[in-house]
């Protein structure tokens, strides 16, 4: 099961026949395993990995990482507040964290000002939010195991006399 999951995570375009050849399992068994992975929620969806650096540059968008300290709600903990936050369309990712803050939010906006407005008018005003700290992403080198920089570029230092 894990081998098939790894193969699909690396290339979601693989067919059951491809995976069968790679794993030496019968096609029917591969199809059954994939169906079970989908039904049990291991595979949530299939999607393309997009170079967000190029998309953000093309659309002239900015990305920010926001650290949020919150007061958990009685009987709901962090979940109710997290749900209110992830429903905002600007929110691309939301994580419960250990350490100095509770939630990490990744958002995208058209300008620095738009992101600042979202934080000050939408996030910071939610009941339970104690503080926020915003960091703007300047460049992405690697994300989701994908290297965004051109590794073929010659990085040797020039020699001068």
Q: What does the mean pLDDT of the chain come to?
A: 89
Q: What is the pLDDT of residues 46-84, one digit of tens each?
A: 888 777 777 777 778 899 999 999 998 888 889 999 999
4 burial level (CB within 10 Å; 0-12, 13-18, 19+):
buried
Q: For the chain, what are the domain ranges?
A: 2-39, 52-143
pTM of the shown model: 0.70
Q: What is the pLDDT of residues 107-154, one digit of tens each?
A: 999 999 999 999 999 999 999 999 999 999 998 888 877 787 776 665
> Which one, of 152, 148, 129, lies nearest residue 140 by Cα?
148
- Do 105 and 85 touch, CB atoms closer than 8 A? yes
* φ, ψ (nearest 5 deg) of residue 93: -150, 150
- Do 147 and 49 touch, CB atoms closer than 8 A? no
> Which one, of 50, 53, 19, 52, lies nearest residue 37 by Cα?
19
**Would you say domain 52-143 falls under CATH 2.60.120.20?**
no
């Amino acid at each position: 099961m894990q081998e098939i999951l790894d193969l699909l995570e690396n290339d979601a375009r693989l067919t059951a026949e491809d995976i069968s050849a790679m794993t030496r399992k019968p096609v029917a068994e591969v199809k059954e395993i994939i169906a079970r992975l989908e039904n049990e929620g291991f595979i949530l969806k299939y999607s393309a990995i997009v170079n967000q650096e190029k998309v953000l540059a093309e659309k002239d968008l900015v990305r920010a990482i926001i650290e949020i300290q919150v007061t958990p709600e009685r009987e709901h903990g962090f979940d109710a507040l997290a749900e209110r936050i992830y429903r905002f369309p600007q929110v691309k990712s939301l994580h419960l964290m250990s350490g100095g803050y509770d939630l990490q939010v990744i958002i995208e906006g058209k300008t620095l000002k738009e992101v600042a407005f979202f934080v000050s008018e939408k996030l910071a005003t939610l009941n339970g939010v104690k503080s926020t700290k915003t960091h703007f992403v300047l460049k992405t080198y690697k994300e989701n195991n994908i290297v965004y920089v051109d590794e073929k570029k010659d990085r040797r230092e020039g020699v001068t006399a």
